[in-house]
């Protein structure tokens, strides 16, 4: 049985690695990591953390930590921010730090068009001892290998009172890790949400996130129900392999706590290998 799940993991990991970048369900908590134009757009100060434990009982399964901070600066007519991403899956461990800048073009009181650019520095390490063809590490294989690379992210966002639309590209320059003989692919993201007020306190917010590297694509369809702009509960359906329940609460519109429980419809889903995601947010409007 253990061999079965190891093989299943390797098969499914190929699909995940093919897209190369970390995957999150509550992506809007750290949206500037996917689209630098979101930097400083919603709040005067904003800090956020996403932690994702994917396929929790599978050895070598993805573990992801994303942290970000962004602020509005009237002096530059936009925002600046920083992101940090830790992503580990099997052999690979990646640490990435990104500096973001956004320019906010205010159309009127409720509508803003934002453009953003991000410059990222990434360290990628491969541990060849993690998976060996023999019980002991193969002396003819290197025990570790690592390299660094720079990458560029670009994005644009249109934010209105009731909806938000965004388009972005990460790894625009398709950074190459020469020592590892590995090259990133350019990724594209399309995002949209719309708020439907049912009463003075209840609202529905459908969301769509499309991801592609022109090789692997997926779409998230989310529906969130919110109460008094504080409590939120919803569901997420990803076209490739998963369904998630999402819940959270925004305290005093300053502190966010959220959780997603994701069920994977694949060989890995034996009832004990699902995904947990925890998010925190801190805001000053």
Q: Length of the chain in residues, anyone?
A: 285
Which of 40-44, 47-51, 168-172, 269-273 is least confident?
269-273
Do 94 and 124 contact (CB within 8 A), yes or no?
yes
CA distance 161 to 220: 23
Residue (of 86, 220, 83) closest to 153 by Cα position: 83
Tokens 């809007």 correspond to 28
CA dist 172 to 93, 166, 183, Å?
21, 16, 12
Query: What is the per-residue pLDDT for 4?
Result: 42
Query: What is the per-residue pLDDT for 130?
Result: 53
- Per the model's pLDDT, the better-predicted residue between 143 and 278 turns out to be 278
Tokens 């997926």 correspond to 218
Where exactly are the structural domains of the chain?
2-284
Do 220 and 25 contact (CB within 8 A), yes or no?
yes
Q: What angle do CA 271, 273, 274 make, to 5 degrees?
A: 90
Do 192 and 207 contact (CB within 8 A), yes or no?
yes
Query: What is the per-residue pLDDT for 89?
Result: 86
Residue (of 121, 21, 95, 104) closest to 70 by Cα position: 104
User: Could you tell me where the beta strands, DSSP code E, fall in the chain?
Assistant: 45-53, 63-73, 78-89, 92-106, 112-126, 145-159, 163-170, 176-177, 182-183, 187-194, 196-197, 202-212, 217-227, 231-238, 242-251, 255-264, 275-284
CATH (residue range 2-284): 2.40.160.40
In sequence order, what are the beta bridge partners of 285?
none
Do 72 and 81 contact (CB within 8 A), yes or no?
no
Residue range 244-261, pLDDT digits in tens: 999 999 998 899 999 999
Do 35 and 191 contact (CB within 8 A), yes or no?
yes
Residue range 262-280, pLDDT digits in tens: 998 765 555 556 899 999 9
Strand pairing category for 176-177 and 112-126: unpaired
Q: Phi first, then psi: what are they for 2, rounded to 5°?
A: -60, -40
**pLDDT tops 60 at residue 172:** yes
Query: What is the per-residue pLDDT for 2?
Result: 42
**pLDDT tops 80 at residue 17:** no
Q: Give the side-chain half-sphere CA count within 13 A for 268.
A: 26
Do 236 and 221 contact (CB within 8 A), yes or no?
yes
Do 74 and 22 contact (CB within 8 A), yes or no?
no
């Amino acid at each position: 049985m253990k061999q079965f799940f190891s093989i299943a993991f390797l098969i499914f990991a190929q699909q995940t690695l093919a897209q190369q970048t970390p995957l999150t369900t509550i992506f809007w908590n750290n949206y500037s990591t996917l689209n630098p134009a979101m930097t400083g757009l919603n709040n005067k100060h904003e800090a956020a953390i996403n932690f994702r434990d994917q396929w929790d009982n599978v050895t070598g399964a993805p573990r992801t930590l994303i942290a970000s901070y962004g602020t509005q600066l009237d002096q530059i007519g936009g925002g600046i921010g920083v992101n940090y991403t830790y992503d580990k899956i099997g052999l690979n461990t990646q640490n990435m730090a990104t500096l973001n800048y956004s320019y906010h073009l205010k159309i009127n009181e409720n509508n803003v068009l934002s453009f953003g650019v991000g410059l990222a520095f990434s360290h990628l390490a491969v541990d060849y001892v993690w998976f060996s063809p023999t019980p002991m590490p193969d002396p003819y294989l290197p025990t570790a290998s690592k390299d660094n690379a720079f990458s560029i992210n670009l994005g644009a966002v249109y934010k209105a009172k009731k909806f938000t639309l965004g388009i972005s590209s990460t790894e625009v320059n398709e950074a190459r890790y020469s020592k590892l003989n590995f090259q990133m692919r350019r990724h594209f993201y399309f995002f949209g949400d719309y708020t439907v007020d049912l009463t003075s306190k209840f609202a529905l917010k459908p969301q769509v996130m499309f991801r592609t590297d022109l090789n692997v694509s997926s779409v998230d369809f989310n529906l969130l129900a919110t109460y008094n702009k504080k409590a939120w509960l919803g569901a997420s359906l990803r076209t490739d392999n998963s369904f998630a329940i999402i819940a959270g609460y925004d305290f005093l519109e300053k502190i966010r706590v959220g959780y997603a429980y994701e069920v994977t419809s694949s060989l890995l889903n034996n009832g004990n290998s699902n995904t947990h995601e925890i998010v925190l947010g801190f805001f000053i409007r």
